[in-house]
Amino acid sequence: MPLAAESGTLTVTPQMLVVFGIIAIALVLFITEWLPIDVTAILIMVLLMVLGADGVVNATEISTSEGTSGFSSSATITVLAMLILSSGISQTGVVQILGRKMAAFAGDDLDKQLLATIGISGPISGFINNTPVVAILVPVVSDIAHKGKTSPSKLLIPLSYASMFGGMLTLIGTSTNILASDVSARLSTEYPELHQFSMFEFTKLGIVVLVVGSLYLMTIGHRLLPERVPVEEDYVQEYAIEEYLTEVVVDGDSPIVGTTVADAIDHVEFDADILQVVRDDEEFIEPIAQKTIREGDLLRLRADRDTVQQFVDRGTLTLAGNPQTDEELEPDEVTDQTLVEIVVPRGSFLVGESLETSTFRQRYDATVLAFRSRGETVRDHMEERRIRVGDTLLVQAAPDSIDRLSQNDDFIVAHEPEEPDYRTEKIPHAAAIMAGVVGFVAVPWGTVGTTLTGLTGVGAFEALSALSLPILVTALAGVVAMVATGVLKPTEIYDAVEWDVIFLLAGIIPLGIALEQTGGADLLGSLVAMTGTYLPPLGVLWVFYLATGLITGVISNNASVVLMLPVAVQTADQIGANPFAFVLAVTFAASTAFLTPVGYQTNLFVYGPGGYKFTDFVRVGAPLQLLLSIVTVLGINFFWGL
């Protein structure tokens, strides 16, 4: 299947078609979420090894060691270590403490609330992976909005976007940067202009992006955001579940008298939950599964009208009324909150499960009243619905159960506990460790050694020239130091890792290599290079930025980097431009994906708590994406040239 081009004849080989087919399968699975992303990554590895066993993918067979090379990649291991280090920082509570100071500064002034949200999340995300930063700050910002009489919708998208800006300040701000650095280093064998990123390689451009993006959010962005969660409404009204909450009285001849709460309702037949039992003016909430029901008990149910009517028609219960607000669902003698939202992050055991198969209520003595999934509010027949990353559950539970949920990495509770259990005494240790991780990579030890040798004449300083360490080594050393100093417990390092991200990297890295080896990257690069006939190099660079941003909007940012970088470098080579400029354009575009809630994990974290619709991200993100595409491309041209 030859393709004519000015530079010669391009041929599509069977090997290329196989790789393009695998990429197409991966894209479909990423977009549709038919399989979890980690399972999709494993499928990619299997296809590469099976099809490569007979030399189909490339001239040299892909062995099992090559097919699984993503696990041994320095990028994968570095990302793993950085996730653990970020967890150590969060365990000390330093981000939460800064968040509380932010709340005190913000008060009820929206401009101050925005400034505080952006001012904390942006800079911090340069040194702690931006994904856990947003996970930590979602409850803080939600509380700021609640106390300041502001809709959370006005603050949560800015929180996510600001963390993306901050992630571009340093190499370690986001896993995408680390992966792009690794791909750039691998391609440097063929393109000498490329190299592994230094710690502050693109900080100057990152600062420009942070400032411009922040000004946009402060002046235009928040005005484009509707108040999806009205300021004065509580959870009952916000989720519109009034008609699903009913109060009933147990009659003397009711068949459920003498049974336990757990056995009173047959979930196979009825979509209903008993939320509370009120007896002699005393209110009981979870755990109530084993409480025996008596005549005259008032039960608060989650059930639709048809189900309640069936209970009444059968003479089982007598209708009493409907709770209308949060206060009616929270016992008077309990001062702590018993209704909270929890967000389901990647890696949670709930992902892919239903409420029934996960036995959520039994595990945590908590009842789900409703949940949001991709902008849809689900209020009935919830038990069988598959839960996805970013879903937000409205949960009723006793205060101690909520505390257990907030301490579990499987959930992000959108409400800060009154007495959080942080290791504040370990803040100096954690800060020193992170400074060491960054410092040993960032300091130009060779220059320091040469300078000190020249000034003092002491030859021993020349040893400093060999002290420069890669981020992989310093990050792993930091993990050891975190455990040794007690910042992290040994068992916590495994819980800190987002294993689906690690498997994703392990799967897409060999796919990127196969794309290069088969000549697929060369083919695509040559096709894109044809635009150089009509556009200057700066225009082609801008096209790559926009294309990467659009692709990242529907698939993982890490996947888009691996697939786009080889093509971008080949295109730069074809048009005689600076390959490193194209590497930076792809990296920045993949790390700042504003258009959809599914392209970047931090957007998913704020999707539910903000009550957003899919179009809200487009409304605010499209102008921002266009603005930063111009700023970033011009900045790359100014700092590095084309």
Q: Residue 127 and residue 408: Cα distance in Å, rounded?
A: 24
Averaged pLDDT for residues 248-252: 76
Q: Are 507 and 70 in contact (CB under 8 A)?
A: yes
On the question of pLDDT at 366 being above 50, the answer is yes
Q: How many CB atoms lie within 10 A of CB 607?
A: 29
On the question of pLDDT at 318 being above 60, the answer is yes
On the question of pLDDT at 308 being above 60, the answer is yes
On the question of pLDDT at 46 being above 50, the answer is yes
Structural domains of the chain in order of their starting residue, each with its CATH number: 235-324 (3.30.70.1450), 339-413 (3.30.70.1450), 439-486 (no CATH)
* pLDDT digit string, tens, across residues 480-523: 999 999 999 888 888 888 888 888 888 888 888 888 777 777 77
Q: Which of 19, 15, 171 is nearest to 82 (CA)?
A: 171
On the question of pLDDT at 6 being above 60, the answer is no
On the question of pLDDT at 54 being above 90, the answer is no
On the question of pLDDT at 316 being above 70, the answer is no
Q: Residue 120 and residue 471: Cα distance in Å, rounded?
A: 25
Q: Which of 308, 321, 302, 311 is nearest to 370 (CA)?
A: 302
Tokens 């519109």 sit on residue? 240
Q: Which of 306, 301, 288 is nearest to 242 (CA)?
A: 301
Question: How far is CA 355 from its chain centroid?
Answer: 22
On the question of pLDDT at 457 being above 60, the answer is no
Higher-confidence position of 601 and 569:
569
Averaged pLDDT for residues 169-177: 90
Question: ω before 287 within 30° of 0 (cis)?
Answer: yes
pLDDT of residue 578: 93
* pLDDT band at residue 148 using 50, 70 and 90 as cut-offs: confident
* pLDDT band at residue 422 using 50, 70 and 90 as cut-offs: confident
Higher-confidence position of 25 and 7:
25
Q: Residue 244 and residue 271: Cα distance in Å, rounded?
A: 11
On the question of pLDDT at 623 being above 70, the answer is yes
CB burial class (10 A; 0-12, 13-18, 19+) of residue 615?
exposed
* pLDDT band at residue 456 using 50, 70 and 90 as cut-offs: low
Mean pLDDT score of the chain: 80
Q: Which of 465, 305, 468 is nearest to 379 (CA)?
A: 305
pLDDT of residue 150: 86
Averaged pLDDT for residues 348-365: 81
What DSSP string runs through 72-133? H-HHHHHHHHHHHHHHHHHHHTHHHHHHHHHHHHHTT-HHHHHHHHHHHHHHHTTTS-HHHH
pLDDT of residue 419: 62
Q: Which of 207, 201, 209, 164 is nearest to 581 (CA)?
A: 201
